[in-house]
Amino acid sequence: MKTWIPEIRKFSYLNWKQVEALPKDKTLLVLPTAAIEQHGHHLPLATDTLINNLLLGKALAKLSPNASVYALEPVCYGKSNEHLGFPGTLSLSASTFMAVVRDLGASIAAAGFRKLALYNTHGGNSSLVDVLARDLRAEFGLRTFALYGSGGASFEGLNPQERAYGFHAGEVETAFLLNATPELVDSSVYTANYIADVANPKPLLPENAAATFAWLTRDIAKSGVMGDPRPATAENGHRWVDAAATQIAAMLEAMLAFEDPA
């Protein structure tokens, strides 16, 4: 898989003597979690994994060279059962995903590390990542952090409908890939579809509401797209990648400096 992680930030490029010598109290490891799943007719299965690597790589490149932060290899497969029924979606069960991340956390703690960030770019993993961050804290004493998507970056020029319901293969994901891997975007087959309408709010929403309904993509979006990729541009993608990387870099620095409240 294509990577934007600077080589000096790759944990897997170290040897064990170098790992042994790292200042464990002052080192942050980042475990990316993503997915291999359908992203409509126009984006590849690896979209969430590519975006994770792109945003994290650009964020790591913004850190001071002496910040001890290393990216682990990603857990590319996630809990993607909302996208089953579309050829190519490869999903782990919740229990398998949690067992994989828990076992990695056990190895990381056994090596003496103290700080671990879970960086997730697939919505279907989010609730599991929340649980894992707390469980790894409780079970292994790791200072764990959970970081999601674009780190809360606000994307200039994105309309409110897309901001709220551009969940999947919409304008933002398409713009990111138009910027980073245009050869993987087929702009001749864009489709648009929304799961809800900001102008016509309903009592039950799919996400981010007090009461939600559980959704499966195949019930609501035949093409697999939830959002509108048509306005996406590589130029916006470039600006939005930089905005997200700036936010993520600031959060990684905060995690590196974080001390538990006394």
Select 108 or 248, whichever has its Cβ closest to Zn ion: 248
Select 105 or 229, whichever has its Cβ closest to Zn ion: 229
Give the shortest CB-8-to-Zn ion separation in angstroms. 28
- Phi-psi bin for 59: left (phi > 0), alpha (psi -120 to 50), beta? alpha
Choose one: 26-34, 40-48, 203-211, 213-221; the region binding Zn ion (CB under 5 A). Answer: 40-48
Select 47 or 217, whichever has its Cβ closest to Zn ion: 47
Give the shortest CB-91-to-Zn ion separation in angstroms. 14
Select 68 or 181, whichever has its Cβ closest to Zn ion: 181
Q: What is the gyration radius of the CA atoms in the chain, in angstroms?
A: 18
| # binding residues, Zn ion (CB under 5 A) | 2
Give the shortest CB-173-to-Zn ion separation in angstroms. 5
- For 47, the 3-state DSSP assignment is helix
Pick from 156, 178, 155: nearest CA to 230: 178
**82 is a site residue for Zn ion (CB under 5 A):** no
Give the shortest CB-208-to-Zn ion separation in angstroms. 16
Choose one: 39-47, 81-89, 155-163, 231-239; the region binding Zn ion (CB under 5 A). Answer: 39-47
Select 83 or 115, whichever has its Cβ closest to Zn ion: 83
Q: Are 141 and 110 spatial neighbours (Cβ–Cβ below 8 Å)?
A: no
Give the shortest CB-200-to-Zn ion separation in angstroms. 25
Select 29 or 225, whichever has its Cβ closest to Zn ion: 225
Express the helix, strand and coil content of the chain in percent, nearest 5 each: 45, 15, 40
Select 48 or 82, whichever has its Cβ closest to Zn ion: 48
CA dist list (Å): 164 to 16, 171, 185, 203, 243: 45, 12, 23, 16, 18
**For Zn ion, which residue has the nearest CB?**
48
Cα torsion 120, 121, 126, 131 to 10°: value is -10
Give the shortest CB-26-to-Zn ion separation in angstroms. 33
Structure tokens, 60: 């790591």
- To which H or E segment does residue 115 belong? strand 115-120
Pick from 184, 30, 196: nearest CA to 121: 30
d(CA 180, CA 172): 12
Give the shortest CB-153-to-Zn ion separation in angstroms. 16
**48 is a site residue for Zn ion (CB under 5 A):** yes
Choose one: 46-54, 111-119, 190-198, 227-235; the region binding Zn ion (CB under 5 A). Answer: 46-54
Site residues (CB under 5 A) for Zn ion?
47-48
